[in-house]
Amino acid sequence: MIRSPFTLALLSLALAACSPGDPQQQVSVALADGVLLPAYGTWAETDHQLAASAEALCRGEQGLGDARQAFLSAQSAWAGLQPMLLGPLAEGNRAWQVQFWPDKKNLVARQVSALLERKPQLSAADLDKSSVVVQGLTAYEYLLFDASIDLQDPQQRARYCPLLTAIGQHQQQLATAMLAQWQAADGMAAQLRDFPNERYADAGEAVAELLRTQVSALDGLKKKLGTPLGRQSKGQPQPYQAEAWRSNASLASLAAALAGAERLWRGVEGRGLHSLLGDEHGRLSQRIDDAYADTRQRLAALQRPLAELLAEDAGRAELNALYDSLGSLHRLHEAELAKALGIQLGFNAHDGD
């Protein structure tokens, strides 16, 4: 992500305001201003474009290909935000409003049909009162990519466009509200800069939550690959349990989320979580660098959609190797990095899944 000189200048000023003797606060400030705020800003911007795209498509001013690209951009921005889901977006069931996954019983398709039967002229207010299953990107993807729907057909466009535009508006409003809560004078970013505050007693608590969120996201990546790969179903592939399977964006979403986790590790100008490791942990730092590189390279080498890879032995072997690489990366963070930083991780949101 390219940052303007102005953004980097603000980051430098913020870092200068920290006590030189408090590296945890420096890292917390650097990640808040250099990594998390830009990621939330990108997410909000892509959702603004998503809402505009839905309206343009439904007015006949945009083609289906451009509308699908707007969705893929929004999906990628959301995936990249997964390792940064702390604060307001992690509360109040909001993340479920963005994406419903896993959809084990095809609830999205069934609830979309049921909703439109009840509300053929559905409004944004109707959607706001509906289930999270139909409010987010999974339902949006269903409308744009499912083989049973053709939004280029006038009758189908008339049926589905009210829901498509309502989802776009819902996502835009949610992302705008979340960004505002991050940017507020006493908002989430401020709580990662100055301590103590109502959320964190000190910078150590903030750094601990950043690591917990990152570790949980890495574990979630294992689930998002392992579920369609059949790691939880005796090796039987489950391609329709993949994230974003209709748009063939499953692996791209994994890559975006991995990149988000790595941004927390590296930070801006070297002020990420890795900078809290002393010289005695240089070997661990290198192993984590190598683990990110290995997982990234394995993902980049997969040039075909996930469903195609799942359908053949060689493809499943590559995916299993990627899963193992993700597992190693996750364990390095969960066990060794947490121990080196003196952080107790506690409950994992994915435990029991």
Residue 231 maps to a domain:
yes
Write out the H or E segment, with its range, that includes residue 116.
helix 107-118
- Average pLDDT of 253-274? 97
The answer on pLDDT for 304 being more than 70 is yes
Residue 114 maps to a domain:
yes
- Average pLDDT of 130-150? 97
* d(C-alpha 230, C-alpha 207), whole Å: 34
- What is the overall mean pLDDT for the chain? 93
The tokens for 85 are 């889901």
185-231 tens-digit pLDDT: 999 999 999 999 999 999 999 999 999 999 999 999 999 999 999 99
The tokens for 86 are 């702390």
The CATH number of the domain holding residue 168 is 1.20.1420.20
- Average pLDDT of 2-6? 46
Burial tier of 5 (Cβ tally within 10 Å: 0-12, 13-18, 19+): exposed
- Note the pLDDT of residue 17: 45
- Average pLDDT of 65-91? 97
- Note the pLDDT of residue 347: 56
Residue 196 maps to a domain:
no
Residue 193 maps to a domain:
no
Provide the domain limits for residue 116.
22-185+202-341
Q: Helices 282-300 & 250-266, crossing angle to 10 degrees?
A: 160
- Note the pLDDT of residue 343: 97
Range 122-127, long-range pairs (CB < 8 A, 24+ positions) = 122/162, 122/163, 122/166, 123/162, 123/166, 124/165, 124/166, 124/169, 124/170, 126/166, 127/163, 127/166, 127/167, 127/170
Residue 7 maps to a domain:
no
pLDDT > 70 fraction of the chain, expressed in percent and rounded: 92
Residue 13 maps to a domain:
no
Q: Which residue from 89, 90, 83 is spatially nearest to 262, judged by alpha carbons?
A: 83
- Note the pLDDT of residue 15: 44
> Helix or strand or coil: residue 244?
coil
Residues 247, 145 contacting (CB under 8 angstroms): yes
pLDDT range class, residue 10, cuts 50, 70, 90: very low
The answer on pLDDT for 11 being more than 60 is no
- Note the pLDDT of residue 21: 63
Cα 102 to the center of its chain, rounded Å: 14
25-59 tens-digit pLDDT: 999 999 999 999 999 999 999 999 999 999 999 99
pLDDT range class, residue 238, cuts 50, 70, 90: very high
Q: How many domains does the chain have?
A: 1
* d(C-alpha 253, C-alpha 102), whole Å: 14
Residues 214, 206 contacting (CB under 8 angstroms): no
The answer on pLDDT for 169 being more than 50 is yes
The whole-model pTM stands at 0.92
Residue 39 maps to a domain:
yes
- Note the pLDDT of residue 8: 47
pLDDT > 90 fraction of the chain, expressed in percent and rounded: 89
Residue 197 maps to a domain:
no
Lowest mean pLDDT across 18-22, 84-88, 300-304: 18-22
Longest dimension (CA), the chain: 67
Amino acid (one-letter) located at 34: G
Q: Which residue from 159, 174, 104 is spatially nearest to 353, judged by alpha carbons?
A: 104
Residues in the chain: 353
Residues 163, 134 contacting (CB under 8 angstroms): yes
